Structure 1
Amino acid sequence: MSEHTAQISIRDGRWCLYVALMGAPGSLWPEHFFGRSVQVPTVAERSRALTALGFVSVDGAEWEWTEYSETPDDDTSPVRLLASIRVRPRAGGAS
């Protein structure tokens, strides 16, 4: 069964979870926007969003967080957060 990477980050002022489908245009990647921007969606909320998109996390996979500067090589630039996890299509899923 194929594996993909799901990621979550702030987009347009809201947290957005999406599944990177390599070979497909980014505009066709499944995505889910959460309704708030202040709090990071919980693991349970992320899991429900993945399920709604037709995916589940790979056994043993955990969310890994990375921070990066909005403007590379500028240590005064706002920091952005990005998390990722390995996923696979769920049995009977939409993918």
Structure 2
Amino acid sequence: MTIHTTTDAPTRNLLDDQTTYDPNRLLDALIEKSHLKNDAALARLLEVAPPVISKIRHRRLPIGATLLISMHEVSGLTITELRALMGDQRKKFSGSTA
């Protein structure tokens, strides 16, 4: 007999989110749409340091709201389209005061 505690469900949901979330799809799409050669050129376009793009690719840094807005401004894609490219399918978001 298996007993599931209330902590099992959130853990499963986090794992499910990580299997569909892929920021590389978004970064690759922006590079292609902007006719750029590499991540360094994308970093220049977005006015961020190249290690920021690397950290996003290696999932050590999430794509924050400010960067998402910059991506929208340079690409012309909607925020919804950008989120869909990276696999973010959440319907609601919680704001951060940090």
TM-score normalised over the length of structure 1: 0.31
Instruction: Answer 1 or 2: which has greater strand percent.
Output: 1
The structure whose residues are more often helix, as a share, is 2
Give the TM-score taking structure 2 as reference length: 0.30
| Bigger-Rg structure (1/2) | 2
